[in-house]
Structure 1
Amino acid sequence: METYMPFLSGSLSFERFRVENFDADSFDQEHVDLMAKYAAGKFETNSTENVHTGFLGGAHLFDQDFDLDKNVINDAVHFGIRIDTNQIPSAIKNAWLQMELAARAKDNPSGVATKAQRKEAKEAVEQRCEVEAATGKYRKFQPFSLLWDYGYKMLYFGGTAGTASGHCADLLERVFQVELGHVSAGTIAQAWAIEADRYAEMDDVVPAGFCPGPVHGSVAWANEHSQAPDFLGNEFLLWLWWTLETQTDTITIPDGSEVTVMLSKTLTLECPVGESGKETITAESPVKLPEAMQAIQHGKLPRKSGMIIVRDGQQFDLTLQAETFGISGAKIILDDDAEFENEDRIEAVRTLCDTVDGMFHTFCERRTNETWSKDLQSIQNWLAPVQQRGNQAA
């Protein structure tokens, strides 16, 4: 059966959430029954401001069938969540209101609706909204694919973090009595620091100054609600760029394995103080183009980069978002004669995340090491020569 859920086919795009307080040792029939109880479409009303969130079985937009053999694959639960809304667009409601006001005010000497008429018009619009909502013509279904790797305590959400992921998190937390925390560059760095006994050093880390001039205390795109050092994701991409250009195309990650890396396809750069804007460069190898180098020489930082990574013979093409570590457009490259089962796909998702995180852990080790000042100086020297030529030309 064909599935629209990309964790089992096609390219992968997701953000991650840490799952805490799931008490069970495994995902059992009782959990499957809970999904069926709160399946998408089981609870509907005609309310004009209604938002319903429910589980999907994974086969299609209206799949309400859940089964251990079907949904549990390689110690992970593959399923979906659908967000149903039944909202009249505000532009339509406003148009109806203006029509009602005009009809009531047309016989008034002033041509303007009275206070009582405005109240009547508003009530008429509310009644019309209820009638129109009941028809279902404004109902929308928004499905999202999810993979819950309960052994790894990780939820892969097939979308970007925002209102939709908030609705999904609310449903999972309410039904399964768990707690979800969004994974970002900063939270990955903090978790690594605790494991590596570097938390004090990580706690002291502030944005680095890669170019001459005052060092900025924060970045313009920082999440004001988070204390996690997400800016390390931007610095990681710049460090990776520098490493690949000046030293080696192979990164050794903490487990001892080697990852071959190439930055490719797309590169988004932005000024960390919000002065000179944002630019996206698309090319086979964007970092090789002069405009990319000029951007970082003038203080811009990478916010997103395409890359090809190869580890233990497994290749992935993907785009990495620096602060959230969200992965998009990831393709698992196989030999022509290779067959890939669902279990292999799940394992590939784990390998992809372990590999990206492993490279970041290598960076975090260097970033919190006493020798970071030498790396920083080398990066500054790498950026400086062309910038100096530019100053002389000016």
Structure 2
Amino acid sequence: MGFFTGRVTFLRFHVNGPNQRMFGEEHIERLKGFEAGRSRIASADGIEVGWTAGDHILDTDFTLEKNIINDTLHFEMRVDTEKLPADLFRAYYAVELKALSSKNPSGMPSAKQKREARETARERLEQEAKDGRYRKRKCVPVLWDAKSNEVLFGATSLTHVDRVVSLFQQTFGYALDAMSAGRRAYQLAELHQTTRTVDDSSPSAFVPGVTPEDVAWIADESSRDFLGNEFLLWLWYNSEGESDTVKVADESEVTYMIARTLTLECPRGQTGHETITHEGPSRLPEAKRAIQSGKLPRKVGLTLVRHDDQYELTLHAETLAVGSAKLPNPPEDVTSPRARLDDRATQLRDLIETLDLLYNKFSEQRFGKQWQDTLPRMQRWLSREERRAA
């Protein structure tokens, strides 16, 4: 079951509806009403989606015991894609065309014969496809947490986001809002009644004269998701220029390290992007040169420690998506299978809370008076001798 074994990957969504006191039979029945292979909810591109119960791609046996764990509702979205093999289509077309044009005096097929051969080949493939031989099935885990009223979708790619949002609303009647970097900043601003500050924000000039006013990968002018790129750069700066331990709002401390991978991209969309894989990628000279030339981080590998629990993950900037997160093992005294599942749900919540506390700390500085001091320090950090030498 996706979120309860191995590493976890997810995008976060806020449920636009009342908090669920608890999940029960009603939710199970709603999932059954849109189970994969039954409802045939297909988009214009012929892709069908539906829910599965999580054990395997054909599992539609939804039960309270299996799908409700520690105030979470766990299930999967199955994506069925019908893809006719192009090489077989070409083969059928060649066979049909040869048969149709065999008696032509010129030996060359006519335009009409080409059309007929193409239609016959496609009809033959579509007839074969009715038994499902060309259908590809893929499941993506989904977890709805009653405590936070958030949905986790087990992917970092946005490929199937529209499908899960639409299917979730049809099933449960609630819309989903993506918890991107900009959306999270607005949430925090609403708590402190400072939304105007977020509205008026624009990309920070970390490298004066080089950093552009717009970010190439954010097409929507109203989006503030560039704050995710600034968040990752702020983490990088703190780990080198200040401290790799941050005291957060609940008085706990988060110690972190940029590790394993680092992806940087030119915000102008001109000098491309680069991915650096190394035990400590941010310490390499090429990484320093990249950010000194104005590039921004779009994805980093992180190791986090809070309350003596260690997490390893990849964090995406604009979406705040989490990739391949390794959660702590359950305590040795947690031995029963059910207790281990409950502990896993708690560890997942703790990871999300840790990331939120770090982002909250950044937001407090970014939209507070401290930024007037922090931004110049980051600019000086980026203008050290390495940049002049480059």
Are 1:190 and 1:228, in contact at CA under 8 Å, matched by a contact in 2?
Answer: no
Matching of residue 55 in structure 1 with residue 47 in structure 2: no
| DSSP 3-state at the match of 1:208 | coil
| DSSP 3-state at the match of 1:341 | helix
Change (3 A) 1:44 1:369: closer
Deviates more, 1:335-344 or 1:353-362: 335-344
Structure 1 stretches of at least 4 aligned residues deviating more than 4 Å after TM superposition:
105-113
Are 2:49 and 2:79, in contact at CA under 8 Å, matched by a contact in 1?
Answer: yes
State the partner residue of 1:259.
254
State the partner residue of 2:264.
269
Are 2:289 and 2:387, in contact at CA under 8 Å, matched by a contact in 1?
Answer: no
Change (3 A) 1:276 1:57: same
State the partner residue of 2:361.
362
How big is each residue's C-alpha offset from its partner over 1:28-82, in whole Å with a ceiling of 9 and x where there is no partner? 212211212322233569xx97432221112222211111122111111011121
Matching of residue 17 in structure 1 with residue 13 in structure 2: yes
State the partner residue of 2:203.
207
Alpha-carbon offset, residue 103 of structure 1? 4.3
Change (3 A) 1:181 1:151: same
Change (3 A) 1:228 1:253: farther
Name the CA distance, whole Å, in 2 between partners of 1:252 and 1:193. 20
Stretches of structure 1 that go unaligned for 5 or more consecutive residues are none
Are 1:22 and 1:176, in contact at CA under 8 Å, matched by a contact in 2?
Answer: no
How big is each residue's C-alpha offset from its partner over 1:360-390, in whole Å with a ceiling of 9 and x where there is no partner? 1111111111331221111111111224531
Name the CA distance, whole Å, in 2 between partners of 1:286 and 1:331. 19
How big is each residue's C-alpha offset from its partner over 1:114-151, in whole Å with a ceiling of 9 and x where there is no partner? 44334423331332122110232101110111111133
Q: 1:77 aligns with which of 70, 73, 77?
A: 73
Alpha-carbon offset, residue 90 of structure 1? 4.3
Change (3 A) 1:107 1:207: farther
Are 2:228 and 2:318, in contact at CA under 8 Å, matched by a contact in 1?
Answer: yes
Q: 2:284 aligns with which of 258, 280, 289?
A: 289
| DSSP 3-state at the match of 1:218 | coil
State the partner residue of 1:129.
125
Q: Write the letter of the residue equivalent to 1:38.
A: F
Q: Write the letter of the residue equivalent to 1:240.
A: L
- What's the C-alpha RMSD, in Å, of the aligned pairs? 2.6
State the partner residue of 1:198.
194
Are 1:186 and 1:233, in contact at CA under 8 Å, matched by a contact in 2?
Answer: yes
State the partner residue of 2:185.
189
1:93-112 pair list within 5 angstroms:
93-97=89-93, 99-105=95-101, 107-108=103-104
Alpha-carbon offset, residue 270 of structure 1? 1.1
State the partner residue of 2:302.
307
Name the CA distance, whole Å, in 2 between partners of 1:279 and 1:179. 36
State the partner residue of 2:329.
334
TM-score normalised per structure 1 = 0.90
Name the CA distance, whole Å, in 2 between partners of 1:338 and 1:321. 35
Deviates more, 1:314-323 or 1:53-62: 53-62
State the partner residue of 1:346.
345
Change (3 A) 1:192 1:96: farther
1:133-144 pair list within 5 angstroms:
133-144=129-140
Change (3 A) 1:93 1:33: same
Matching of residue 164 in structure 1 with residue 160 in structure 2: yes
Are 1:50 and 1:87, in contact at CA under 8 Å, matched by a contact in 2?
Answer: no
Name the CA distance, whole Å, in 1 between partners of 2:202 and 2:317. 16
Q: Write the letter of the residue equivalent to 1:350.
A: R
Name the CA distance, whole Å, in 2 between partners of 1:298 and 1:123. 55
Change (3 A) 1:163 1:246: closer
Change (3 A) 1:390 1:111: farther
Deviates more, 1:294-303 or 1:114-123: 114-123
Matching of residue 153 in structure 1 with residue 152 in structure 2: no
Q: 1:30 aligns with which of 26, 44, 64?
A: 26
Alpha-carbon offset, residue 196 of structure 1? 1.9
How big is each residue's C-alpha offset from its partner over 1:153-211, in whole Å with a ceiling of 9 and x where there is no partner? 21111112433232222211111111012221111111111112221111111011111
Name the CA distance, whole Å, in 1 between partners of 2:320 and 2:20. 28
How big is each residue's C-alpha offset from its partner over 1:277-313, in whole Å with a ceiling of 9 and x where there is no partner? 2111111111111111111111111111111111112
State the partner residue of 2:216.
220
Name the CA distance, whole Å, in 2 between partners of 1:388 and 1:33. 61
| DSSP 3-state at the match of 2:30 | helix
Name the CA distance, whole Å, in 1 between partners of 2:86 and 2:158. 21
Name the CA distance, whole Å, in 2 between partners of 1:367 and 1:147. 31
